[in-house]
Structure 1
Amino acid sequence: MLNIFARASVSRVTDPVGTWLLRRGVTPNAVTIIGTAGTVLGALWFLPRGELFAGTLVITFFVLFDLLDGAVARASGAGTRFGAVLDASCDRIADGALLGAIAWWCLAVAGDRPAGAAALIALVGAQVISYVKARAEATGLTADGGLVERAERMILALVGTGLAGLGVPYALDIALWVLALLAVITVGQRIVAVHRSAKEQTG
């Protein structure tokens, strides 16, 4: 949802950076891989150790690379089909690492089973949301939109970990349960969108 409303504003900031990177020989795929590697390493190093605020800062920095790979691709004139697949695949890896690390901390470190369960629901929901869209597009259907796309999921998760790292009680629990609920709703929305698209094509 944020992708629709914020894309133009974000592009005005990221496009000059993308042009600058391209002139220095940085490719969109390199930006994608660096961002994913940083997110994964940051999530798996800091969060299970209970360093939630530091982890949030590091992960947020590398998550922003997800905005830059598209900017570099636009600066080069066009992205490639391989780049699109790589970007989508790396997004799933980063999402899994972040929510998996949060679940690890909740269950193994904090002993908070309800929050851990919410993190696992959110993790599965995030993967299914993306899968429904990819599978629909592979069959010529559409499944766009929904309450929580990737931007919203990352914001909710990182706000939760950041506030928890600052000592705000129940911040992570609330963020995870909101994310889990909205992820389930979004899965339903995308399946409905696929059904509607199929009906429109069959007339």
Structure 2
Amino acid sequence: MLSRFRGLMTRLWTPLADALLRAGVSPDAVTITGTLVVVVTALWAFPTGHLLLGGVLIAVFTLTDSIDGVMARRAGRSGPWGAFLDSTLDRFGDGAIFAGLVLWYTGGGDSRPDAVLALACLVLGSIVPYARARAEGLGMTASIGIAERADRLLAVLTATILVGAGLPGVVMTVVLALLAVASAVTVVQRMATVRRQARQAAP
């Protein structure tokens, strides 16, 4: 859903991307720095109960996630390495967010059901991009799905911020449950898409 706004985000971040390039900052440096901030914040703020602070900080850096791509295109450095680095480090950030929530709910948050749901989101969220990558490695496509990465992050960070601001914990429970179901559906959708393509390509 949020992929429709990529053009808007590109126009929004172009001035900042140009400024960073003029300052001698490389796209790779922006990618790595953003990932480090997200990982450290998620693994510190969430387990210690700072849901509002952690959610806001991660949301800010998540919104700026496309700056490195804009910088690479503006500098004429777009290529396989940048795409590989960005996608790989995204997995670290996503994993840290849900791992931080698992640690919170198995500790101070004291909610085993929410911990299980966050763990399910963590596992299924890693399978979703793997299914697409594996399909593309086999010469097929699997970009279909109701729960893309940006949508999952928007949902979990919004819920984290709202609960951290004082809303009942059931808000997080509902969001995590919906995300787990949506991620599972997306995996099934991608498997079905690849199976259909494989059958069509079979002699």
* TM bin (shorter chain): over 0.9
- Give yes or no for contact 1:144–1:193 (8 Å, CA) kept in 2: no
- Give yes or no for contact 1:32–1:65 (8 Å, CA) kept in 2: no
- Which residue of structure 1 aligns with residue 7 of structure 2? 8
- Which residue of structure 1 aligns with residue 42 of structure 2? 43
Shift of 1:202: 3.6
1:134 equivalent in alignment to 2:133? yes
1:151 equivalent in alignment to 2:150? yes
- Give yes or no for contact 1:53–1:161 (8 Å, CA) kept in 2: yes
Structure 2, gaps ≥5 residues long: none
Using the alignment, how far apart are the partners of 2:80 and 2:137 within structure 1?
13
- Which residue of structure 2 aligns with residue 75 of structure 1? 74
State TM-score, norm by structure 2: 0.94
**What is the DSSP-based 3-state SS (H/G/I as helix, E as strand, rest coil) of the residue aligned with 1:49?**
coil
Could you tell me which amino acid in structure 1 is paired with residue 102 of structure 2? Answer: A
**What is the DSSP-based 3-state SS (H/G/I as helix, E as strand, rest coil) of the residue aligned with 2:192?**
helix
Shift of 1:64: 2.6
Using the alignment, how far apart are the partners of 1:121 and 1:92 within structure 2?
15
Q: Which runs of 4+ in 1 moved over 6 A?
A: none
Shift of 1:175: 1.2
Please say which of residues 190-199 and 21-30 is displaced more in the overlay: 190-199
- Give yes or no for contact 1:39–1:94 (8 Å, CA) kept in 2: yes
- Which residue of structure 2 aligns with residue 177 of structure 1? 177
- Which residue of structure 1 aligns with residue 197 of structure 2? 197
CA RMSD, Structure 1 to Structure 2 (Å)? 1.4
Could you tell me which amino acid in structure 2 is paired with residue 37 of structure 1? Answer: L
- Which residue of structure 2 aligns with residue 113 of structure 1? 112
**What is the DSSP-based 3-state SS (H/G/I as helix, E as strand, rest coil) of the residue aligned with 2:107?**
helix
**What is the DSSP-based 3-state SS (H/G/I as helix, E as strand, rest coil) of the residue aligned with 1:109?**
coil
CA deviation map 1:126-174 (0-9, x unaligned): 1000111111111111110311111011111101110110110112111
- Which residue of structure 2 aligns with residue 99 of structure 1? 98
Shift of 1:77: 1.9
Using the alignment, how far apart are the partners of 1:201 and 1:27 within structure 2?
42
State TM-score, norm by structure 1: 0.94
Using the alignment, how far apart are the partners of 2:35 and 2:196 within structure 1?
34
**What is the DSSP-based 3-state SS (H/G/I as helix, E as strand, rest coil) of the residue aligned with 1:66?**
coil
